[in-house]
Amino acid sequence: MNQTNLKPMYLLESFLFFGIPGILLYFNIYYGIPYLDSKGIPLIVSFPLALYGLLGLLFFASLIAFKVEGNKSSIEALVSRFRLQGLNRKLWIISIGTFILITILEEFLKITGEYLAKTTFFAPPDILPEFIDPNKMLEFPLSEFMGVPLEGNWWIILIWLGCLLCNILGEEFWWRGYILPRQELAFGKSAWVIHGALWLLFFHAFLKWNYIVLIPTCFIIPFLAQKYKSTWIAAVIHGIGNGLFFAFIIPGIFR
């Protein structure tokens, strides 16, 4: 990657680039969704709009930032700047193995999220869907998805696919593609620590009851992305985790 156009991203700018999306997302989840609910907007519309709509905007923000830096308008320049070179067999194995490791670690830590979610400060809003709110029982096989019956409603797959794309493209292009290389110029080998801490504390404030649960994800992903200079590693780990939810909704749709 040609770093001649890159400027180091120090703490103040890092706070802004993580903090502003984090504040907006927190506001969307804790105030935006309840407001839309009061206006009769169903959760299957308001929740994707509040969460994944913002993530989609991060993807476009990363492309705008790419142009502001003065990069060439070409696929080659985009791939180089955002570290989108393909994964070899070794990196695929590392990615999948890391996903399994993170899943195991988070399963052990899940009890902390269940505990914090019952406290006043960390409790999630009552309106959140069952697959996020640990205070609600998620029963399998799923028969409903965000208040809508699953059976026969194949369009829900399209909605979740759009959500998944916004999630992966938005987060990975913005955090690991655009921000992390600039932080490396400022913090060197410690960049992943700064990156992970800000990603956890600022952006995941909307999931604050899961602060401890998310520690493995928020530090291991940027560590590997920095070590191997690959955004694809982060995208694969991130994508497998969120993509597996299809396994829970598809049986309910086509039963």
Question: For 78-106, how does the pLDDT look when each residue is reduced to its tens digit (9 = 90+)?
Answer: 999 999 999 999 999 999 999 999 999 99
pLDDT of residue 246: 85
Residue 44 falls inside a structural domain: yes
pLDDT at 3 (0 to 100): 55
**Measured at the alpha carbon of residue 83, what is the angle toward residues 5 and 190, in degrees to the nearest 5?**
80
pLDDT higher than 70, residue 135: yes
Confidence bin at 137 (pLDDT 50/70/90): confident
Determine, yes or no, domain membership for 4.
Answer: no
For residue 3, is it within any domain? no
Residue 241 has pLDDT above 90, yes or no: no
Predicted pLDDT of residue 226: 98
Helical residues (DSSP H) of the chain, grouped into ranges? 11-27, 33-38, 43-68, 75-81, 89-116, 155-171, 180-187, 191-201, 215-227, 231-243, 246-253
Whole-angstrom Cα distance, residue 80 to residue 123?
Answer: 42
Taking CA atoms, 54 is separated from 26, 29, 49, 68, 183, in Å, by: 11, 11, 7, 21, 23
Report the pLDDT value the prediction gives residue 178, as an integer from 0 to 100.
Answer: 98
Asked, for residue 32, whether it belongs to a domain, the answer is: yes
User: Cα(first)–Cα(last) distance of the chain, in Å?
Assistant: 49
d(CA 142, CA 129): 12
Evaluate whether residue 6 is within a structural domain.
no
pLDDT digits (tens, 9 = 90+) for 141-156: 788 889 899 999 999 9
What pLDDT score was predicted for residue 186?
98
Is 174:62 a contact under the CB 8 Å cutoff?
Answer: yes
Dist CA 52 CA 58 (whole Å): 10
- The arithmetic mean of pLDDT across residues 122-136, rounded, is 92
Total residue count of the chain as it appears in this document: 255
| Half-sphere CA count of 130, side-chain side, radius 13 A | 15
Asked whether residue 113 is domain-assigned, the answer is yes
Q: How many domains does the chain have?
A: 1
Q: For position 4, what pLDDT does the model report?
A: 56
Q: Is residue 208 included in any domain, yes or no?
A: yes
| Residue 5 belongs to a domain | no
**Segments forming the whole domain that contains residue 162:** 11-253
Q: What is the mean pLDDT of residues 204-212?
A: 98
Single-letter residue type at 230 = S
